[in-house]
Each structure stands twice: as structure tokens, then as C-alpha cells.
Amino acid sequence: MNADTDVSTSWREAGLRDISLVCGILANAFMDEPAFRYILPDRSRRHSALVKAFGVIAGEDRRAGSIFVTAGGEAATLWRKPEHMRETAWDGVRTALPFLSAFGSSIGRATKVAGLIKAHLPDEPCWYLRFAGCHSDHRGKGFGGAVIRAGLHQADMQRSKAYLETADEVNLPIYRSLGFEVIHSWQVPDGPVFWGMMRPAR
């Protein structure tokens, strides 16, 4: 992502027809991300598992917020609205079997990471950037920044803070360039470190 490159108009809010495209983008983008390397240590099955997992996540986040994708399918973001920042118990019941199908024997690690993420969410409602990813063929061209700014525009319209967490330290300066700052960090036992970042209301 290069926040200095202006491709801010080349995105759209994703509809149902875009879900498979979004899942492919994010599965590619997170192939070597530390949290998913921990959850899915077998790289040979990681991509297919991620496509299935993001299918579940994108379906949930589309109902609870917004999904943005660049016009050419280079990058995508999944956002949850402040009032739906936290998943409900019913959400967990509804997605349990689909996630088990996606993660298989890795479901224990996936559940542990998800529980820790939930435990570290801010108490105050925020626009929650759950996932942001750019296809590896298009990194460094500004596409990731464009779809992040699309969600930040919604937060700004509501004068709401925005929150995210990342397990990839290389992302910290990118998010800082978009107005986020680290508010805490935590580690999965025997797993990756996460950084939680907040962007003030504007």
C-alpha cells in the first residue's frame, strides 16, 4: 500500500456478486501474514482454507458493515459499523460449522486467536477495520490505501473513531500514514504479537 498514490476514486462498495472476488483477494493477501501462518501452519492448504474462511467472514461483515473493493479487484477491506463492532453469541453459533469446515484441525488455534482479538476490542464503539488486503501482484500502488480511506470516509461522516488490529509489524507505518496510532499490543501464547491501532474521530 502506498498512501501517497491517489487512486481514491477507483473503488466500489461490494455486493453479493463481489464476495468471491473479495475472498480471493484477501486469501492471497494473507497467505504469509503471521496470524494465519500460526493458525494454518501447513502452507499447502492455507490458501483454500483462507478462501473458505473469508467467505464466512465477508458474509457476516457485509450484513454488519461495509465491504469495499477496488474497481480492478486489486484490494479489499472488511468493515463493521460501530453498533455491530462485536459479534453476538448468535453470530458465533451461526458460523461455528462453516468455520470448522474452513479451518479443520486448526480450529482450536483459530478460536484462540479470535477470542483474544475480541477480548482486546475497545470498549467504545468504533468503525472496525477487520481486514484490509491487497493482492500481491498490486502492492505498493495505492490500492490498499484507497479502500481503507473508503471506510474512513464513512467513519468521518459519523464523527466516529476507527479501530484495527494487525499481526504484521510492517503494516504499522502504513496505518500511521492514514491516521492510526498504536494503543496497545498483546501476544497469542506461543504465537504472534498483535498491535491494536485507533484513529481519532474527525
What is residue 26's predicted lDDT score, i.e. its pLDDT? 98
3-state secondary structure of 197: strand
Cell of 137: 501482484
The Cα–Cα gap between 164 and 87 comes to 15
What is the crossing angle of helices 19-29 and 43-64, to 10°? 130
Q: Which pTM does this prediction carry?
A: 0.92
Class of domain 11-199: alpha beta
3-state secondary structure of 130: strand
Residue 115 φ/ψ, nearest 5 degrees: -65, -40
Q: From the centroid of its chain, how far is CA 202?
A: 22
Contacts of residue 119, Cβ cutoff 8 Å, sequence gap at least 6: none
Cell of 61: 461483515
Q: What is the pLDDT along the chain (202 residues), one digit of tens a residue?
A: 333 334 445 889 998 899 999 999 999 999 999 999 999 999 999 999 999 999 999 999 999 999 999 999 999 999 999 999 999 888 889 999 999 999 999 999 999 999 999 999 999 999 999 999 999 999 988 999 999 999 999 999 999 999 999 999 999 999 999 999 999 999 999 999 999 999 999 8
Q: How many CA atoms within 13 Å lie on the side-chain side of 55? A: 15
Model pLDDT for residues 65-119, shown as the tens digit of each residue: 999 999 999 999 999 999 999 998 888 899 999 999 999 999 999 999 999 999 9
Question: Domain segments of the chain: what residues?
Answer: 11-199
Contact 148, 7 (CB under 8 A): no
